[in-house]
A and B are shown apart, each in its own frame.
Chain A
Amino acid sequence: MVTAEQVWEALADVPDPEIPVISVVDLGVVRDVRVEEERVHVEFTPTFLGCPALEVMRAQMAERIAELGAEPEIEVVLDDSWSTDRITPAGREKLRASGFAPPAPRGLGAPQLVQLQSKSFACPYCGSTDTRLENIFGPTPCRSLRYCNKCRQPFEQFKTI
C-alpha cells in the first residue's frame, strides 16, 4: 500500500505546464492527500479559474498516482483556500531563478493600482526595484508585465492574488 508521503513525493514531480520550473506542490495547490486502502484522494485548487493548466495538472497527478499502483481520485475544490501566499519559499526561488518575479506577499489586502505603479517590485535578473508596470495582464492570467529600467529587460511578474 502507498503512503501519503510517497504520494506527496510523486506530486512534487508534477510541473505546472505553463511554468514548468515549479511543481504543483511548490505552487501550494495540493490541499490534501488521503490514502484509503488502494485509493488515493487528492484535493486541489485551481490557481486562476480560467487557467487551462488545470486539466493538464489533474491528468498528470492522476497518472503519477496510478504509477504508484494506487487508484487516483482527484477532486477540484472551488473554495477560497488558495492565494499566492501559498507558494512555498522553494517555489518562489525557482520562479525567480527562471526569470519570473515571484508574487509580492498579499499583506493587508488586495493590490492597488498605485502599488503596481510604484517602484517596489524587484527585477528577477538584476534585483533593482527601478521597474515599471507595462501591463497588468500578460501571457497567462497569473502574470503581469514589467520592465526593468536598470538592466533594460522586460520581465514577467507573478500577480498577487
Chain B
Amino acid sequence: MVSPVFRRVSERAQLLLGIADDELILGWRDSEWTGIAPFLEEDVAFSSIAQNEIGHARALYELAARDLDTTADDLAFDREPDEYRCARLVELRLPSWEHTIARHVLYEQADAARLERLKASGDAEVAGLAAKIDREEVYHRLHAEMWFERLKDEPRFTAALDELRPLAEAVLDPSLRDGHTPELAELWDEMTSVRRSQPTGTTW
C-alpha cells in the first residue's frame, strides 16, 4: 500500500509534504470542536478554519503529487503514520479550550513566518500558492489575535502557552521534527478508516 516513491522524495516535495501534513492534521484536530465548542460562534469558526486548513493541505498535496507522480488523496491517506512529516504540535488531541487557543496562537504565528519565507521563494509555483494561502490565513490570525487579547491574563491560558511553546519551533524548522506522538497513530486510524474500508475498485 505504501509506494516506495515516498521514500525518495525531492527536496521540494519534502517541503510541501511537511506543510501539507501540518495543515491536514491540524484541520482534523480543529474539526473536533464542531458541535462541542464553548459557544456556537466558535463551532462555526473552528469548523471554517478546519475547512480552510484541509483546503490548503489539498492544494499543497496536489503540487507535491505532481512531482511524485501520485495523487493528493494517496499522499493524504495512503502513507503509514510514521511517514507523515507533521510537527508534534498539530498532532495533540487537546480537549481543553485554553490549550486549543494556545496552539492556535502559536501555530498561526509560526505559520505566518513560514508563509512569508515561501512567498519570497524563487519557485514561482510555491510562492504563488503560499500567497494564495496567506490571504485566507489572515483571518485565522485575526481570530487567534482576538482570543489572545481575551485570554492573555488568564493563568490557565498562559500556562497552556508555556507548555506548548517548545513544540512550536518545529513548525518553522523541519529538522526538529523527530518522530511523532502516539496521538498521531490514533488520529490516522480514524482519518483513514473510510478509505481503508473501500471495496477493491472503488473510485472517489
Query: Residues of A with Cβ closer than 8 Å to B?
Result: 45-46, 48-51, 78-80, 82-83, 110-113, 116, 134-141, 145, 159, 161
Residues of B with C-beta under 8 A to A113: 142, 145-146
- Give which listed residue, A45, A49, A135, A140, contacts B45 with CB less than 8 A: A135
> Judging by beta carbons under 8 Å apart, are B138 and A48 in contact?
no
Which 4 pairs, one residue from A and one from B, show the smallest C-beta to C-beta distance? A50-B55, A49-B55, A79-B128, A80-B131
> Judging by beta carbons under 8 Å apart, are B51 and A78 in contact?
no
Q: Mark B49-85, 1 if CB is under 8 A from A, else 0.
A: 1011111101100110000000000000000000000
Residues of A with C-beta under 8 A to B58: 49-50
A146 to B191, alpha carbons, bound, how many Å?
34
Residues of B with C-beta under 8 A to A51: 55
A-B contact list, 24 entries, CB within 8 Å:
A49-B56, A49-B132, A50-B58, A78-B59, A79-B128, A80-B129, A80-B131, A80-B132, A83-B135, A111-B138, A111-B142, A112-B142, A113-B145, A135-B45, A136-B142, A136-B143, A137-B41, A137-B44, A137-B45, A138-B44, A139-B44, A141-B51, A161-B135, A161-B136
A134 to B49, alpha carbons, bound, how many Å?
16
| A136 in contact with B52 given A110-B138, A161-B135, A161-B136 (CB within 8 Å) | no
Residues of A with C-beta under 8 A to B44: 135, 137-139, 145
A112 to B63, alpha carbons, bound, how many Å?
30
Residues of B with C-beta under 8 A to A159: 139
> Judging by beta carbons under 8 Å apart, are A161 and B55 in contact?
no
- Name the residue in A50, A82, A111, A116 with the highest tally of chain B Cβ atoms < 10 Å from its Cβ: A50
How many of B's residues come within 8 Å of A, CB to CB?
30
Residues of B with C-beta under 8 A to A83: 135
| Interface check B133, CB cutoff 8 A | yes
| Interface check B48, CB cutoff 8 A | yes
Q: A80-B129, A136-B142, A161-B135 are in contact. List 11 more A-B contacts (CB 8 A).
A: A50-B52, A79-B129, A80-B128, A80-B131, A82-B132, A83-B135, A111-B138, A135-B45, A136-B139, A141-B48, A141-B136
Residues of B with C-beta under 8 A to A137: 41, 44-45, 47-49, 139, 143
| A78 in contact with B63 given A135-B44, A138-B48 (CB within 8 Å) | yes
A145 to B62, alpha carbons, bound, how many Å?
32
> Judging by beta carbons under 8 Å apart, are B45 and A50 in contact?
no
Residues of A with C-beta under 8 A to B142: 111-113, 116, 136
